[in-house]
Amino acid sequence: MFESAEIGHQIDKATYKREEPQLREALLGAQYELLRQARTAVVVLVNGVPGAGKGETVNLFNEWMDPRHIRTEAFGQAGGDGRPDMWRFWQVLPPKGHIGILFGSWYADPLSDCVTGQDKRDRFHHRLERIRQFERMLAAEGVVLVKLWFHLSKKAAKARFKLLGSDPRTAWRVSTAEWDHLKQHDDWVRASEEALRKTSTAEAPWRVIEGSDPAYRSLTAGRLLLDALTACLQAKSAARAPAAAPAALTAPALDGRSLLAAQDYSRHLGRKRYEAQLEELQGRLNGLSRRLVDQHRSLVLVFEGMDAAGKGSTIRRLTQALDARHYRVVPVAAPNENERAQPYLWRFWRYIPHHGHITVFDRSWYGRVLVERVEGFCSQADWMRAYGEINEFEEQQHEAGAVVVKFWVAITPEEQLRRFEERKNTPHKQYKITEDDWRNRAKWPLYAQAVGDMIDRTSTRTAPWHLVASDDKLWSRIEVLRLLCERLEAALGATAK
């Protein structure tokens, strides 16, 4: 990967002086056009060997362009607050029209953990594969990645450290860490080469820049950024669309039967038994939530269901058992302007709980494969890739120690109609029923099909779906609480008192 970056590239000062102003002007122009189009976000990854000019280049980019529309972030080793590793990168993704510069980026930790031997080869490969999926998803969502690797041969690195160290004004740049890195230079090169090769895709290829000559390095980095900006400004559409799409998962089963319709909706629970069981289960859940804090685990709860299925009232019965400092309920509606300027998972990543915390999503990222699919808010290719992206998202949560529990609160169309009528006829419930609800109801078969596909394709061992027949609200609430307690007991490894 580094062969061409060890041949001593350089550019003379006169050329640099001539080229630099033109490059600046072009970059600035492209940046403003990006902002005006507001169609694509550009993320520049800055990685490479110490002493190869990464920091200087980041400074230059900010000097050459308007820094108010550039978000520069530097990353050290991950903190470990119980959120997935990728969480902190999601927090700083630039919105459409903006440029993000990630110094270190999602490559720094996997590489260093590989070189220090903390990660075994399989784990390293797993993390690279995760990165590849992440970047593929970003590209599909219209984010352009410019991946720059600044390289120095071992000889050049040594020469540069000596040079920097010999001048009191630059000696601070070379610490023991840099010399230690040099000792392990070959290990770093081996790991980096592999990482770069395995993550150089057609959508997001790595570009290697020889770092020893500042003029060559700066002009090259600037030129690569400019090329990427120009390419994405000229592209016809921001997202990738497949020319030969496979047949979609849209046809209902030939016998007309669906997973939702096949549930048993006849179950019923009397008020008295409900109240006794509710109290017992809420106590059990409370104990479990304390265990969760003690064990530094977190809990992600997802509630999905048709309109009027009883998601809200079920969530209330559940949160009654929790300490308000430990949970938050996130109601999910149509995305707002800020959220639409980001990949669709962005607004959910924000609320992933840290250690000891609980997030309850009242509707969730599954909107992508439900309402967005049925209403055509995204393309077929978009929602079809979403199953894999969502599984990957939840797997990351699981690996970071979260318990992920998902409920589909299921009602029959007849029961929904009864509840709609009741809402319409009860003054204090009228606000709950809108024209949208009736429109959605008319598309019941399409939603039923989408729900079946969703459950088939995203019910995993670590984050299974629980379908709860809820025509009887009391039975359903108890069932949800019971399933939740069981899942927590299994995950936390002990029966609560």
Task: Out of 18, 36, 197, 429, point to the residue binding its own copies (CB under 8 A).
Answer: 197
Number of residues in contact with its own copies under rule CB under 8 A: 81
What's the closest the beta carbon of residue 65 comes to its own copies, in angstroms?
A: 17
Is residue 230 close enough to count as binding its own copies by CB under 8 A? yes
The Cα 39–Cα 237 span in angstroms is 8
Pattern 281-320, binding to its own copies, x per CB under 8 A? ----------------------------------------
**Sheet of 358-362, strand order:** 327-331, 358-362, 298-305, 402-410, 465-469
Q: Applying CB under 8 A, does 189 fall inside the site for its own copies?
A: no
Amino acid identity of residue 221, one-letter, is A
| Residue list 352-381, contact with its own copies (CB under 8 A) | 381
Q: Which of 38, 241 has the CB closer to its own copies? A: 241
DSSP labels for 12-65?
-HHHHHHHHHHHHHHHHHHHHHHHHH---EEEEEEEE-TTSSHHHHHHHHHHHS
**Secondary structure of residue 405 in the 3-state scheme:** strand
Closer to its own copies at the Cβ: 288 or 409?
Answer: 409
Stretch that binds its own copies, among 109-117, 246-254, 270-278, 321-329 (CB under 8 A): 246-254
Among 9, 158, 290, 328, contact with its own copies (rule: CB under 8 A): 9
Residues in 143-172 that interact with its own copies by CB under 8 A:
144-145
By the 8 A CB rule, do 59 and 190 touch? Answer: no
Instruction: Please report, as residue ranges, which positions from 401 to 430 form the binding site for its own copies (by CB under 8 A).
Output: none
Task: Give the E-state strand segments of 87-210 in sequence order.
Answer: 99-103, 143-151, 206-210
Residue of 245, 246, 323, 312 whose CA lies nearest to 290: 323
Q: Which stretch binds its own copies (CB under 8 A): 72-80, 304-312, 364-372, 452-460?
A: 452-460
Residues in 59-118 that interact with its own copies by CB under 8 A: none
| Bridge partners (DSSP) listed for residue 404 | 300
Binding flag, residue 137, its own copies (CB under 8 A)? no
Angle between helices 185-199 and 176-183 (to 10 degrees): 80
Contact 28, 65 (CB under 8 A): yes
| SS3 category, 71 | strand
Question: Which of residues 54, 181, 207, 487 is near its own copies by CB under 8 A?
Answer: 207
Binding segment toward its own copies, per CB under 8 A, in 109-117, 204-212, 291-299, 415-423: 204-212
Amino acid at 482: R
- Interface residue with its own copies, options 14, 68, 117, 122 (CB under 8 A): 122
Six token digits for residue 483: 């399933």
Task: Write each residue from 258 to 277 as x if it is in contact with its own copies (CB under 8 A), else as -, in one continuous string.
Answer: xx--x---------------
Which residue from 350, 314, 344 is spatially nearest to 330, judged by alpha carbons? 350
Q: Could you say which of 38, 163, 253, 417 contacts its own copies (CB under 8 A)?
A: 253
